[in-house]
Amino acid sequence: MQTTLAQFFDYCMAKNLPFAFYRLPNTAVVKVVAQNSTKVKALPAGSDYIYEQGFMFSPFQEDALSQRVIIRPDVFVSEDRLPALSFAKPVLEPFSEPTKKKLQATDKQGFVKYVRKIRKAIRAGKFRKAVAARVLKQAKPDDFHPVTFYKALCAKYPTAFISLTYTRDHGLWIGASPEILLTVDGNGFTTYSLAGTKANSKWNEQTGWGKKELDEQEIVSDYILNAFRGLSKSEPIIDGPNTVQAGNLLHLRTTFTYDNLPHYNWQKVVEQLHPTPAVAGLNKQDAINFILKHEGFNRSYYSGYLGPVNLDEQINLYVNLRCLQVLKKKVAVYVGCGITAESKPLKEWRETKMKAQTMLSVLNDTKQVVKINRNITPLPPDDNGDKGDTNTGGDLQAGRHQ
C-alpha cells in the first residue's frame, strides 16, 4: 500500500526525524526531504556549504536557539513515491527539550507605540527604514492536523512557495511564502524586490501606489542592485516594478535576473541579501540592532529563509513569510510591515491584520479530516510555561508563527 503524506508525517514525528514538504510556485508536485537520523546539521556563519544538498532552514538572526541548518536528503521523493515507513536508523540520538523564552503576543497599543518609535528614529536620521513585526496567538481548532492544513494552503495559494518543516530543536513550521530570496537554475540567478502592500480589491488594483509604498520598493531594489555589484560586473535583466497578487494582498514586485554568475557564488549572494530591507530595513545593521533592542520578542525563523538547495539541479530559497509554527495548543502568527518616515501607525496595524489572514483564513475555514496518530512524539509547549495535558493527540493540534 502506498504511504500517504499524513502517514509519513506521523512516522517522522514519532521518530523525531527532521523533514520538509515543499511545493514550488505554479506547480502541483509536493516534494519530500527527510533524514533517517534525528540530528540535523548546523551551518555556521561563513562555512563553505555551496555543494551541500538538502532543505535549508535559516532564522532571521542566528542565536543559541535558532541556527541555520540543513535537512539531509536521505529521502528525497515526490509525494506519490513515499517510501515504506522503515527508513529510520535503529539507534537514534538522545534528545533533551531546549529551554525556550516566553513568547508574548503584541497588542494594538504596544504595536502602535513601536511603530512610532521607529518613525521617530527614521526622522532623526538613524536609518531609512525598519520592519516592525508583531506576534498574535490563537487557539487551534480541536481537529487541527498539520497535513490537512498544508494541503489547504497548496490549494488556496497556487503561486506561493508552500512549505512544512520540522526539526526536533526548532519545531514545526508551515508557510505560504510569496517572496523569493534566491533561485538558481538554467536561467541564472533570480531574486525579488517585494515591498509595498495593500488589500487585494478591484479598487486597489486600479489605483496607484502611495509614496510610502513606492519608497519601500525603491529601498529594497537599490539594496539588491548594490548587493550584486560586488559579484557581477554586468547589469541584470529587470522586470518591474509590477503589481502582483498574493492571496488577499497586493504587492509591488521587481524581478532581477543575472545570467552570468557561476553556481559557486550562490552562498555569497545569499549572505549579501539576507536579511533584505523587506524584512529588516536600511541601513541594514542599524535597523537590525534597533529591532533586536525594541521589538520585544525573538523572531526565530520568521523572516528567515528556507528551501531546497542543490536538489533537482536547482536552488530555491524563499523568505519565511506568511507562516506559523505548530505548538501544543495555540497558533502564534508572526506578521510585519515596513516603516518609513511616511508611515501611519494605525494603517500599519491594519496591514499586519491583513497579512495574518493568509494563515488564519485557511486555519479557520479548513475542515480537518486526516485521522491523527495518537502515538506520536509531543510537540513543544506554547512558550508560556504551560505544559498542557499529556494527550499526544492534542499535541498535534497547534500552530505558530508568520
Q: Give the strands of the sheet with 237-246, arranged side by side.
A: 41-42, 69-71, 54-58, 305-311, 314-319, 180-185, 188-199, 249-258, 237-246
Cell of 37: 537520523
Q: CB within 8 A of 231, min separation 6: which ones? A: 261, 265, 268, 269, 272
- The greatest distance separating any two alpha carbons of the chain, rounded to the nearest whole angstrom, comes to 65
Strands (E), 200-348: 237-246, 249-258, 281-282, 305-311, 314-319, 323-326, 330-339
Q: How many helices (H) and strands (E) does the chain have?
A: 9, 19
Domain borders along the chain are: 5-400
* Contact indicator for 113, 337 with CB cutoff of 8 Å: no
pLDDT digits (tens, 9 = 90+) for 334-391: 999 999 998 999 999 999 998 999 899 999 886 554 444 434 444 444 443 333 333 3
Q: At 343, which amino acid appears?
A: S
Give residue 101's pLDDT band: very low, low, confident or very high (50, 70, 90).
low
Q: What is the tens place of the pLDDT at every residue in 307-328?
A: 999 999 999 999 999 999 888 8
HEC secondary structure over 132-159: EEEEEEEECCCCCCHHHHHHHHHHHCCC
- Distance CA(232)–CA(307), nearest Å, equals 24
Q: What is the pLDDT of residue 123?
A: 96
Domain 5-400, CATH homologous superfamily name and number = Anthranilate synthase (3.60.120.10)
* pLDDT, position 32: 98
Q: Grid cell 539531509 — which residue?
A: 72
Contact status, residue 185 vs residue 24, Cβ threshold 8 Å: no
Half-sphere exposure of 166 (CA within 13 A, CB side): 31
Q: Residue type for 46, please?
A: G
Q: What is the pTM of this model?
A: 0.86
